[in-house]
Amino acid sequence: MSDSNHLLFDLQLDIDSRKRKRQRQAADAAIEELISMGFPRAKVVAAVRAFGGKDQALNHILSQTDQNTSDGNTSSSAPIPNTIAADILHPEGGVEGLSGINEAPMTDGDVKAGPSTKPNERDVEMEDELTEELNKADALSDYDIEVTREGEAINEYLALLASAENGEKAVLAAQ
């Protein structure tokens, strides 16, 4: 290989390396942003790997959520493509995927905590009891003001002001 070809080859490798690094950084940022929204890390990482971008991954995760709520099931029926072949072994022994996040390889004994698969149960009796209490209550009763006590407090304040004013006048007259 000539020097010019070798130089071009090295340049192309450098360009490709920088491109992969930018893509990894973008994927990491997308993963962290989606996780900060409250989505489970495993679903987010899989969706970002499969779909490449934050918007596409978010749409996929939300469509899974919509399907789950309409089916009454929390497990996904939409498969995410397997991208394990694209993973690269990280020098520290973990697996670094396209996201660039170093994750230790999972064994069969590893279990990640996830959302419960049990549907939310409504306590109809408690809901009825609370609704009944709310319907019985007078909406304005919480805001009623004891006008007579307020009036007495205002009159007392005015009397104090008047006596202070009269006391001031007496002091000024004595001087």
In this prediction, residue 81 has a pLDDT band, given cuts at 50, 70 and 90, of very low
pLDDT at 10 over 90: no
Q: Best-predicted range by mean pLDDT among 15-19, 87-91, 123-127?
A: 15-19
Residue ranges of the alpha helices (H) in the chain? 3-36, 41-51, 54-71, 124-136, 147-174
CB of 61 closer than 8 Å to CB of 34 = yes
> Residue 16: what residue type?
D
The per-residue pLDDT for range 114-129, each reduced to its tens digit, is 555 555 667 888 888 8
pLDDT at 174 over 90: no
pLDDT at 112 over 70: no
Report pTM: 0.37
Which residue has better confidence, 119 or 66? 66
CB of 61 closer than 8 Å to CB of 76 = no
Distance CA 31, CA 25 (A): 10
CB of 86 closer than 8 Å to CB of 23 = no
